[in-house]
Amino acid sequence: MLVSQLLSTSVLLCTVSTVLAYPGMEMKLAKILSRQDDAAGEGIDEGDSDELLGDLITLQDGQLTRVGLDIKQLLTGGSTPESDDQYINVPALKSAQCKQDTCCVWKYIADDMAKLFRGPSGRCTKWARKAVRLGFHDAAGWSKGTASQGGGADGSLVLNPRELTLAENNGLQDIGQKMKEWYAKWHDKQGFQDITMADLIQMGANVATVVCPLGPRIKSYVGRKDSSVENPLLLPHPSDPADMLIELFENKTIRPHGLVALVGSHTTSQQFFVDTKRAGDPQDSTPGVWDVLFYGQTQGTAPTPKRVFKFDSDVALSKHEKTQQEWQEFAGPGGQKHWNEDYAREYIRLSLLGVNNINTLTECTKVLPPAIRTYKAPDQNNLNTWLNSNSQSALAKSLSDAINEGESILNTIITSLLGRLKSL
């Protein structure tokens, strides 16, 4: 490599173009303008999900447990889907006290997971994103029309030998392997027989979401039952038209606004399989951060650098008459708070598809790590430089890998440049 090339690389990396407004600015503005009209139970309209699920459909209110009643309210637009409930005085794992609290072992599991999900930059890692997607793909094997065959959030995505090998689940094989390891560690070795794969997967998704900066702290439940029976394949494809996606999710009781809220999780994502030539390209300018920039960039109202790769399905949803307005609201002032609440409520619904013992679940939200409500990237300038180039050079690739691992790319650049100096 020529010195001039090396220099131009480092000059490029140091002189930062500020084409993009720093997302933190939008965050502050969003806070100032924060909507006040979002209290629980208000503003349910025809775009919002409100169908009951599982055993809650037939149980009378008088038969409901505290958890059953709260979930019933959550599914019909009431109660609050996010919670800061903390675990005070966690008993030692091997103690008798720990055995008495169903949530106790989950605190240890959640801490284990969070270590893998949090990157040194403060962003969440590829493992966190995969865990969120895994939670979706396990639960998504359910619809009203196929409910008699079972399916849903039942652990089958990992327990069934075939499901994870399907092309639709590309990219999820390694997080599936992690789930198997966690299952072996907690279910077998520690003798906690009531740890199911279905719960591990859904708890994993909720730990991952709150580890991503700005992500909601979603009310979390355990007590789902496992199945290794292959679920019907009911996953969306990025080339599906919006009408079809809306119907696919309606069939799962998720109404158009719910779909808009849930696909917002692409805010953290970097794609690998939609366009393999652009492997590692993110779906907004802040991969690993649970912000609303994805909504603005996908609909084209926020400046979008070259490297941001939009899925056709997301663009289609940002424009469809049933979803466009909600999309716009999440992108606009106060969008973060509105989105977090809606995402949390809709994810609770998703994570309960096919669960027929909702009334006997235990709430263990207190085991989750705390929410991170403000975030400033330590390496935003370098990130912007990477985003504004479409180079697929080795350096660009190593930056993309580092971001995928949740690392700060300040260090990656220095290491990479030093490596090149050595090879001169």
Ligand X SMILES: *[C@@H]1O[C@H](CO)[C@@H](O)[C@H](O)[C@H]1NC(C)=O
- Residues in the annotated binding site: 138, 152, 154, 156, 266-267, 284, 286, 291
Query: Considering only residues 266, 345, 349, 366, which one is a binding residue for ligand HEM as defined by CB under 6 A?
Result: 266
- Output 212 or 316, the one with its CB closest to ligand X: 316
Asked if 145 interacts with ligand X (CB under 6 A), we say: yes
The item of ligand HEM, ligand X, none sharing an interface with residue 145, based on CB under 5 to 8 Å by kind, is ligand X
Confirm if 230 and 162 have CB atoms less than 8 A apart.
yes
By CB under 6 A, name the one of 52, 229, 235, 244 that touches ligand X: 244
In eight-state DSSP terms, residue 362 is E
Place of tokens 């309960």: 352
Query: Which residues are part of a known binding site for Ca(2+)?
Result: 138, 152, 154, 156, 267, 284, 286, 291
**Cross-strand bridge partners of residue 14:** none
- Of 72, 118, 133, 224, which one interacts with ligand HEM (CB under 6 A)? 133
Residues 110 and 367: their CA atoms lie apart, in Å, by 6
Which residues 225-264 are close enough to bind ligand HEM by CB under 6 A?
A: 236-238, 245, 262-263
Regarding 235 and contact with ligand X (CB under 6 A), the answer is no
User: Min. distance of Cβ 389 from ligand HEM in angstroms?
Assistant: 21
Q: How far is the CB of 243 from ligand HEM (least distance, A)?
A: 12
CA distance 151 to 326: 29
User: Position of tokens 């599991």?
Assistant: 109
Stretch that binds ligand X, among 84-92, 245-253, 293-301, 367-375 (CB under 6 A): 245-253
Q: What is the 3-state secondary structure (H, E, C) of 99-110?
A: HHCHHHHHHHHH
For tokens 């400046």, name the residue.
Answer: 303
Rounded alpha-carbon distances, angstroms, from residue 54 to 71, 155, 219: 11, 17, 18
Angle, vertex CA 179, rays to CA 177 and CA 183, nearest 5: 120
Q: Closest separation between CB of residue 252 and ligand X, Å?
A: 9
Q: Does 241 bind ligand X (CB under 6 A)?
A: no
Residue 136 partner contact from ligand X, ligand HEM, none using kind-dependent CB cut-offs of 5 to 8 Å = ligand HEM
Residues near 9 by beta carbon (within 8 Å), at least 6 away in sequence: 395, 417
Q: Which does 275 bind (CB under 5 to 8 A by kind): ligand X, ligand HEM, none?
A: none
Tokens of 98: 């720990």
219 binding ligand HEM? (CB under 6 A): no
Q: Which does 339 bind (CB under 5 to 8 A by kind): ligand X, ligand HEM, none?
A: none
Residue type, 300: G
Q: Is 405 in the site for ligand HEM (CB under 6 A)?
A: no
Q: At closest approach, how far in Å is the CB of 235 from ligand HEM?
A: 8
Given 233, 247, 392, 414, the residue binding ligand X (CB under 6 A): 247
The verdict on 129 binding ligand HEM (CB under 6 A) reads yes
Q: How far is CA 79 from CA 76, 356, 413, in A?
A: 9, 21, 47
- Angle between the N-to-C axes of helices 3-14 and 380-387, in degrees from 0 to 180, rounded to the nearest 10: 120
Could you say whether residue 402 binds ligand HEM (CB under 6 A)? no
Q: How far apart are CA 179 and CA 158, in angstroms?
A: 8
Q: How far is CA 297 from the centre of its chain?
A: 18
Where do contacts with ligand X occur on this chain (CB under 6 A)? 143, 145, 244, 247-248, 251
Where do contacts with ligand HEM occur on this chain (CB under 6 A)? 126, 129-130, 132-133, 136, 171, 236-238, 245, 262-263, 265-266, 268-274, 311, 313
